[in-house]
Amino acid sequence: MKYYVLFGPPGAGKGTQAKEMVEKYNLHHISTGALLRKEIAAGSELGILAKGLIEKGCLVPDEVVEGMIENEFRTVSGVEGFLLDGFPRTLPQAEALDRILAKTSEEVTATVSIMIPDEMIMERIKGRALKEGRADDASEEVINTRIVTYHNQTEPLIEYYTDKGKYNEIDGTGTIEEVRDRIFDLMDKF
């Protein structure tokens, strides 16, 4: 089983690229954002808690996200692997993912990091808010909080996965097709 971590700042195009990656490589896409939005739409206790945190630009507690991820690993079959999008976002989450995978003698196959400059993050997220009507993308203050959170909490994963020989960076600028081709060229090597 292959386990890919799709990595990059908010608005880098992870969700857009994930659809193509899942289809080409027969992967199950695990988007923490989508899992959380499903809970919010259902009005579950987790969804209510998550909604309040997300609207402020904060992260949902690790143990909640980790439980959802581990459940996906256990219950999904008929795929060549998993594509994690939005998890891990912090060093403790990366370590937790390693522990979860170690239970079945598995490990992260590789990270695919789509990188774009901060100015492009703001442009893309504002555009997404208008196009998709996503409240979590509408406020410039929330977007700035997400950018700062990414730099402070998620960027340390670059060193973590580089040290393990699992970090791979893709230039996320250009057309969707150009970025997709770069990703496919990389993934064809695994």
CB hemisphere CA count around 26 (13 angstroms):
5
Strands (E), 86-183: 110-115, 169-171
From the list 51, 124, 146, 182, the catalytic residue is 146
89 catalytic? Reply is yes
Contact 111, 7 (CB under 8 A): yes
Q: For residues 119 and 10, what is the distance between their CA atoms, to the nearest angstrom?
A: 11
146 catalytic? Reply is yes
Q: For residues 10 and 33, what is the distance between their CA atoms, to the nearest angstrom?
A: 11
Sort residue 13 into left (φ over 0), alpha (ψ -120 to 50) or beta: left
In terms of DSSP bridges, do strands 110-115 and 169-171 run parallel, antiparallel, or are they unpaired?
Answer: parallel
Of the candidates 67, 96, 83, 105, the residue with the CA atom closest to the CA atom of residue 2 = 83
* DSSP 8-class letter at 99: H
From the list 2, 134, 164, 166, the catalytic residue is 134
74 catalytic? Reply is no
From the list 89, 124, 180, 182, the catalytic residue is 89
Annotated catalytic residues are 14, 89, 128, 134, 146
